[in-house]
Amino acid sequence: MLIQDILRRKRDAEALDADAIHTFMRGVADGSVGDAQIGAFAMAVVLNGMNREEAIALTEATRESGQVLRWHDLNLDGPVLDKHSTGGVGDLVSLVLGPWIAACGGHVPMISGRGLGHTGGTLDKLEAIPGYDVTPDDARFRRLVKDVGVAIIGQTGTLAPADKRLYGVRDVTATVESLPLIVASILGKKLACGLDTLVMDVKVGNGAFMPTAEASRELAEAIVTIGSGAGTPTSVLLTDMNQPLADCAGNALEVHEALRLLRGEGRDSRLYQVTHALATEMLVQAGLATNADDAAMRLEKALASGEALERFSRMIHGLGGPSDLAERPAHYLAPAPFTTDVVAPRAGTINSIDTRALGLGVVELGGGRRNAGDAIDHRVGLSHIAQLGERVDAGQPLLRLHAASQADAEAIASQLSTAFTLGETSSVEPTSPIHATLRQEDLS
């Protein structure tokens, strides 16, 4: 089958069969398909879309373009499951969720990414821990998944290599904004991990990846349909990102917060609510709990007993970090040299927060990347971030800024202050951070 014929058919809005899509993606992976052809394919998909069968085939072809992890030879005593998020600010859920699920009997081979734009990356947070290796060899990774129940690492070159090439071309050809291409990129990598089930966290709000609530919902529905259609039971929680999920943002600061939750603290926080909801869905979907009440009981036991924290500690040590991080976090997680409070210019109620601006503020401080090769300062970030609906007095802190220098802090303080909109009265209705849960049976 000629690649040119595949491109012509998609250009002319014809539906491609699975063989054509697999042929094309194999060529992307082995280099026999050129960048110009990849760009032509991506543009044709953007302009003409894909039907359900095409989108499923593209996801499967992405998954199968490289190594697909297999676990049967390890004789695991529980299911293999994972969670993925579209990203946000103060979203450290993975650091808590992975070990929490492991403590409940699951095995979590979590392949994570780095920060992108205003959103923080799980790998960047973990690299705030001295010695932590995000690129272990395969044997070490598999051993930790079996013995500890969780290992959070970066994508290897052998997992879904076609996606790396396709995404690189999409990034420079204005073809990123295509639902089937987005879903295939997200799911292709995740499903290559050989999962029994997957739960996705799709963010909604001004700090979300998708521009509108409607777009987030459309993405969520596509993920459920295509993931399940590709053979992996998949569900999605739509969760709020109209303010940072935690009251902090920044790599070392978020590791501190993860340890706090794993110690059983912070149960009234939005972060806890979202993490608990995702964990509940994972346990029920994977058959580790019979229903939500059973899942809640198992999660409480794992937290109260210290088992979830122990799994986190074993993972950290198993991937090269200190064995006593949980006992001595301040010894290993270096603080920023300079801290100062950004205060409210007047009294009022916080009626909106520009979450994206706060995330970009962390990037400006050096806690994220402007360019792909930039080094990260893991010490910097924001903490004590005020919440929506909170009443503040003039001069009361809106957040605490952690910077490498006073000059860095002063350069960004006013920008961070304007991220908060104050009103005389509250226009914020108390709502759950969980907007909806979507499962395949809901969409059939």
| Among 23, 65, 85, 119, the one annotated catalytic | 85
Q: Which residues contact 279 (CB under 8 A, 6 or more apart)?
A: 97, 100, 101, 104, 295, 299
CA gap 189, 186 in Å, rounded: 6
Helical (H) or strand (E) element with 186: helix 179-191
84 catalytic residue (yes or no): yes
Q: Active-site residue 270, yes or no?
A: no
Annotated catalytic residue, options 185, 197, 225, 232:
185
Q: Which of 10, 22, 84, 314 is catalytic?
A: 84
| Residue 156 among the catalytic residues | no
190 among known catalytic residues: yes
- The active-site residue, picked from 22, 59, 62, 82, is 82
Q: Which of 112, 119, 122, 234 is catalytic?
A: 122
Q: Is 83 a catalytic residue?
A: yes
**What single DSSP character describes residue 393?**
-
Report d(CA 36, CA 28) in Å as an integer.
11
Using an 8 Å Cβ cutoff, are 125 and 254 in contact?
yes
Active site residue 82: yes
**Parallel, antiparallel, or unpaired: how do β-strands 108-112 and 150-154 relate?**
parallel
Q: Which of 114, 125, 165, 189 is catalytic?
A: 189
Beta strands in 28-135 (DSSP E): 81-85, 108-112
Of 10, 22, 63, 83, the active-site residue reads 83
State the number of CA atoms in the 13 A half-sphere of 350 facing the CB. 26
Beta bridge partners of 204: 240
Q: Which amino acid is at 393?
A: D
Q: Is residue 170 annotated as part of the catalytic site, yes or no?
A: yes
Q: Write the DSSP string, 243-262.
A: S-SSS-BSHHHHHHHHHHHH
Among 10, 63, 142, 190, the active-site one is: 190
Catalytically annotated residue among 170, 203, 276, 402: 170
- Active-site residues: which are they? 82-85, 122, 170, 185, 189-190
